[in-house]
Structure formats: C-alpha cells, structure tokens
Amino acid sequence: MTNLSIGLVPNSIGAIPPLPTPIAPEPLQPAAASNLPQPAASLLQPIPIPFPPIQIRSLRCGCYLLNYQPSGSALVSYDGTLRVECHSGGRTASGDLYQRPVIFLPSPIFPPRPPQPILLPGPNPANGIPILSRSRYRYYLRITQILEYFTIGNSFTLGLEMYRFTAPNTWVNEGSFTAVMSWSTAPAGYPASNDYLTGDVKNSSGAVVGRLTMGWISTYFRKATIEIDRVSASEAPLENGSGINWRSIFDTVGWDVTVSESTASLTEPSGSSWSDAELHQVMLAQRDSANLDGEWRYHLLAVRFLDSTDRGIMYDAYASDSNNVPREGAAISSHWVIPNADPWGLVKGQRFGTATSPYFRTAVHELGHAMGLYHNTVDNGFMNTTPTIASAATPATPFPNNVQWSFAPDDEKRLRHYPDIFVRPGGVAFGSASSTTPLITPTDLEVEMEGLELRVSPVLESVPLGAPVRVNLELVNISDQPIVTPASLKMKLGFVQGQVVDPAGTIRTFLPLVHCIEDHPLTLLKPGQSLTHSLTLLRGGQGALFPTSGLYQIKVEVHWDSAGVEASVTGQTDVLVTGTVDASHAAAARQILATPDTLLTLVLGGDHLTDGIAAIQTALKNPVLRPHYAYIEAKRLAKRFGERKANLKIAQELIEKSTVMSPTEAEKAADFSVE
C-alpha cells in the first residue's frame, strides 16, 4: 500500500478551492484597542484553520495471504493466496482457496462425550507464500473488480466469481460476490502492517455470506523449486551463456524460483538412451523430495539421449505417469547432434549440450509444459518449438540469436493467474488447463460493449456426425448512438474467436487459423446498422469441435481495441449433431474427424494437403456428408494452385440444390460461374 499524507495547498493532489476572503473588522482607535484585555485583543489576530491530511492508498503488488470464513460454521475456513499484478492498465488479480483441516480430539471417558472437533490454525504469514495440500484445494477466485490505481478513502470494492473445484477436473461457478475491503492494522507476523484488509463478502442478492481477510506477504506471486539431476556425461542446463538463468527468467514472471543442482552422476538404466518409463522411474527414486503438498518441486533430468524425441520432453503425462501424479518431471537430451545444415545457424553440427543457448532454452520449454503450458507460436518465446524458431531466423539474426528469452505475454498471464491446480506439479493432468473452466481472470479494462448485440444462429439446426457446422453472425447496433466496431467479422482479421461446449460439458476453443496481423480495420456502426458474416466450424486447438453426437453449445466472442480499452461482445446458439446412419457414414465421419488437415484444406485449399483432400473425397462419396462438403471441394477447385488452372466447370457441377452453404459461401459460389 502506498500511504502518502499531504497538506491541502493550491495545485496539490486533492487541492480544494481557496476559501472566501474574510470580511475585515471595523478599525479600532489605537487608544480603544490598547484598553482591551489581552485575550480579547488576540481575537483580532488571524486564526489558522486546520485541515486533515488526505491519505492516498493503492493496492500493493504481489501475493496476499487470504482467509475466507463462510457465515454459519465456525469449523469451515479457507486459506489461500491472492495474486495482484500491477501494470500500466491498473491491476489484474486472481486467487485460490484451500479448506483448512479439522482434527478431532478425544474427550475424557467420564463423563462420556464425543470427540471434539478443532479447526487447525492457518498458515503463518511470516513464512511467506504458503504451500497448501493439493487434496484441500477448493476454489479458484476469478477477480472481476479491484482497485485499479488509488483511492483517497479507506476501502474499495472487490468483485469476484468463486469456482468450486472437484476432482478430477470439474468446476462449478457458485456465483458472483462482492466485498468492501477496508484497510486495518495487520496482525503479528505480517511483513507490512499497513497492507492488510478485511471485508464482509456479499452474494448477488446483497446478503452477507462470509468474511474475507487479505494481508500482503511477498513481492512474488508463487514459489517453486527446480531440481536438476544428470548423468555425468550430460551438462546441467543452468543458463544461456549470456547471463540469463532460471532465476532471472522467473523473476520476470513473478515466481520465486530456487534451483537445486542435485545428483550429477545418475546411473543409466539400460544404455545411453532413456525411455519415458525409465525417466519416470529414476525421478521417483532419485529426487531429493517427493512432498508436493509441502513444496512445488519440478524435476529436470539431463541425459545423453531420449527414446521418444530428439531434444527434450515433459514425459510425466499419460501412460508414462506410473504414479498418477502428473507434471512432476521433464528431461533433456545433451548428446543429440544438431544437423549441420540450415536453418540451425550458429550452432549447426554441435552437440546439444555444448550449444549452451538452445540447450538451456529447451530445458525451460519442457519445464513450461510441466507448468501446464502448451506450445505457443505467437512469438519466439519459450513455448514455441526449437525448429520453428530456427526456421524463422534470418541472415542478419541467425539462430539462436533470434530466440526471445521470455514467455509470450499470454503465457506469462497463465503462469501468474491460472488456478494453482493447473500449474503446480501434481495438479490436474497436462492439457486440462486450456480445455476446461474456469476462465482465467479477465484482462483489465476489458468491457462488454453496451448497445451492441451479437446474434448467432446455425445455418442448420442439426447436422450429421462428421459434417462441419455453419453459423451465421450478425453484429447489430441496438443503441441510438454510433459505436466503433470491427469493419468485418471475418475470422482471419483476428476479432472473432469462441468455444464449443459438448454434451458432457467439455470446452473446445476455436481461433483464427489464418491471421492478418497487420489488418485490424474498424468502422463506425450507426444506430440500427449491422455487420453479417458466417463461420464454418470443424476443428480447434483441442481437435475436432464436434466429435460425438449430441447437443452442442456454440459461444462466439468478438474482441477489438476501442480507444485503449479492449471491447467485447458475445453471443451463442445451439446445434444438434446426429449419429451415423450406416457403416459407410461412420467410416467417412471417422476419417474426417481423425484428419487434422481437413481443416487446413477447408481454409487454405490447394493441392498440397493430401490427407485433408483424401478425407474430403471420402466424405463426397458418402450421400449423408456429400452436401456438407461439396462447396468446400468446389472452392478448392475454383482456385488456381501452382501450375493447375482453376476448374470452374467442375466447381459449378459440384454445387447442387442439396448443397449446404452459409450465406457467405453462397455469395462466393456465385463467382464460380464467372469465366
């Protein structure tokens, strides 16, 4: 907290208008004045008017120790942390709550009484960021309102959504809450007596449901240990050769990371190359600590070779996770030889362990997976793949000089604000974080635009399994004022994205596949005007968007920058996916759903994606799916590719009365008849 006392002077912060000029008293004759008693004479002197100082308070950045005490039960209490990130846009915050244990103390035999429940004490603030038992994890707090900059009062309103977690990875939104948090003096043990707040928590009806306290304990958001074990022939990946190491990387993210160089002479179980199972077995046997309820400990093995990959792997997932405790460990290969060819730049032909920079970068990349992060190609940061970064190098900036020594901004936000259970070792399985609720705490200054309505409707209310789902979008200005909006709802412009929720509640996301980064046109949408476009949905980042039959919910979001504020509008619709009608339909649908290149063929066209073309050809031979894929094949053939000329005649023949098309597709199909 910033606690600044200032006086009220002209032009100062919080200055008040000048007081009126006082009316001068009647002048007295000197003789009369000299005859007044001294106290009366003093009344003629100016009287200073005291003004209390103003206190300007702000919410200190870093980690706060939280306690939430629900009303009505003295034996239910939750402890955890609130992470407050400070940036130019104000504050972004998120939190987690763990249920405090209760023990039962035996009572005297005489007179006989049942055991007495005792609520154990909470974490000691003097110990800094608490590490709490995974089995006690209960809530993610999605902070929706907080003090962004400063206040001259003694309180602010905290808004939050509480998501209750139940294993293995199910979340229930228990509603929106508010708490007026007021500053008070911190109890003993807190490092800053002035950065402590309390407040009553109220539900959406205004009823008090509990009491919340928060006291600042650290400049960091989270803390963890990285243990590095290796065989004697392998180098320990500790830094990049230019002063960047584990500590400096995670300082930027806001994690307090301790690196432990442990065993330097591991025994190779079966030769120089290690299987995933061997990596996992050695981690369990050799690591210094296995108490993931007492510390966040990630384990990194440096070995000569890996069976399943060239450079590195986060092996502790899926079938190789023999103890069913996910994301504990990763490994890196020191003796892989970098190809002596382009695009490997300055390190071509080198043994990986001697190429200090990319070797260390790969180690950070694999630990990023252990922290729940996917591959991320938005920049040359840690979660991009090594070959992709090498391929993006230029003669002026050869690999590895083009490596970006940081996480991408969206990954930094995930590391700071993902639920604990998504990032801590031994939490939920890898891949769960990006495919399930709760949504990560929202970006500051994002506003749902009033006066706009996004209408989403399916072209067909039901489609057969294996067919793409087409939806129509209409963005309407329902206000009486013009509003700045995107000029188009085409996905490639980057404004449109969304989610598909399947019948079991699993969320799959869809994003632009082709993104025109340099083109973000905006327009002024007048009252009553609208923008229309259509989407054809088939696959997303988690695979097929409609993999089984049943009722699906499609949520579409439009985001854009409006005068420095991220504006957004959302809409949704439902569509029914029907089951297969015969064996031929089932086989065609299976091939479509199992072929990632089907989406690329749909979007990009061309003749180069042979797997995607083969899947679409299979669909065209099936009478159930043919109407849904005829336009997609016609669009591909109507465009020239390489030396192949556009074949408008065949494209026209594919378009029949039964062909399913969105309005946008039908408009484009009209051009197929133009020679």
Give the domain ranges of the chain.
Answer: 62-218, 222-407, 446-578, 583-673
Q: Which of 5-19, 109-123, 407-421 has the lowest mean pLDDT?
A: 5-19
pLDDT band at 443 (very low <50, low <70, confident <90, very high): low
Select the highest-mean-pLDDT range: 137-141, 438-442, 495-499, 517-521.
Answer: 137-141
Q: Is the pLDDT of residue 519 over 60?
A: no
pLDDT band at 1 (very low <50, low <70, confident <90, very high): very low
pLDDT digits (tens, 9 = 90+) for 272-284: 999 888 898 899 8
Say what the pLDDT of residue 46 is.
Answer: 55
Q: Which residue has the higher pLDDT, 650 or 312?
A: 312
Q: What is the pTM for the complete model shown?
A: 0.62
Distance between CA 205 and CA 305 in Å, rounded? 60
- Phi and psi at 553, nearest 5°, equal -110, 130
3-class SS of residue 62:
strand
Judged against a pLDDT cut of 50, whether residue 36 lies above it is answered with no
Of the candidate ranges 391-405, 486-500, 622-636, the one whose mean pLDDT is the lowest: 486-500
Looking at residue 655, its pLDDT comes to 87
* Band (654; pLDDT cuts 50, 70, 90): confident
Confidence at residue 514, expressed as pLDDT on a 0 to 100 scale: 45
- In this structure, which long-range contacts are made by residues 306-310, counting pairs with CB atoms below 8 Å and at least 24 apart in sequence? 306/273, 306/274, 306/279, 306/331, 306/333, 307/273, 307/274, 307/275, 307/276, 308/275, 308/276, 309/333, 310/336
Q: How far apart are CA 533 and CA 364, in angstroms?
A: 42
**446-578: what CATH class?**
mainly beta
> Would you say residue 523 has pLDDT above 60?
yes
Q: Is the pLDDT of residue 33 over 50?
A: no
Range of 71-80, 82-91, 101-110, 248-257 with top mean pLDDT: 248-257
537: closest CA among 472, 584, 588? 472
Query: Element (H or E) spanning 534, and its range?
Result: strand 530-537
Tokens of 563: 């005068």
Mean pLDDT of all residues in 142-171: 90
- Higher-confidence residue of 281 and 98: namely 98
Asked if 360 and 413 count as a contact pair (C-beta separation under 8 A), the reply is: no
What's the pLDDT at 605? 64
The CB density around residue 134, as the number of other CB atoms within 10 Å, is: 18
CATH classification for the domain delimited by 62-218, as one of 2.60.120.620, 2.40.128.120, 3.30.260.10, 3.40.50.10490:
2.40.128.120
Residue 37 has pLDDT above 50, yes or no: no
- Residue 164 backbone class (left: φ over 0; alpha: ψ -120 to 50; beta: rest): beta
Who has greater pLDDT, 668 or 267?
Answer: 267
Bridge partners (DSSP) listed for residue 156: 181
Q: Inform me whether the pLDDT recorded for 566 exceeds 90.
A: no
Confidence of residue 434 (pLDDT cuts 50, 70, 90): low
Q: How far apart are CA 326 and CA 425, in angstroms?
A: 7
Is the pLDDT confidence value at 362 over 70? Answer: yes
For the record, the structure tokens of 555 come out as: 């949520």
Instruction: Give the pLDDT confidence score for residue 90 in this predicted structure.
Output: 87
Q: Specify burial of residue 641 (Cβ count, 10 A radius: 0-12, 13-18, 19+).
A: middle
Q: What is the CATH number of domain 222-407?
A: 3.40.390
pLDDT at residue 491, rounded to an integer: 81
Average pLDDT over all residues of the chain? 85
Q: Which of 574, 577, 565 is nearest to 464 (CA)?
A: 577
- Residue 296 pLDDT class (50, 70, 90 cuts): very high
Residue 604 pLDDT exceeds 70: no
Radius of gyration of the chain from its Cα atoms, rounded to whole angstroms: 32
Choose the weakest-confidence range: 30-34, 104-108, 444-448, 507-511. 30-34
Looking at the predicted structure, is the pLDDT value of residue 2 above 50? Answer: no
Confidence of residue 23 (pLDDT cuts 50, 70, 90): very low
- Which of 400-404, 627-631, 653-657 has the weakest average pLDDT? 653-657
pLDDT tens digits for range 455-472: 999 999 999 999 999 999
Give me the pLDDT at residue 433, please: 66
Token digits for 565?
């504020």
Is the pLDDT reported for residue 245 higher than 90? yes
- What value does the mean pLDDT take over residues 263-267? 94
- Give the angle subtended at the CA of 410 by the CAs of 408 and 411, to the nearest 5°: 65
- Res 576 pLDDT > 70: yes
Q: For residues 349-372, give the mean pLDDT.
A: 96
| pLDDT beyond 90 at 133 | yes
Six token digits for residue 240: 């990049």
Residue 386: DSSP 8-state: H
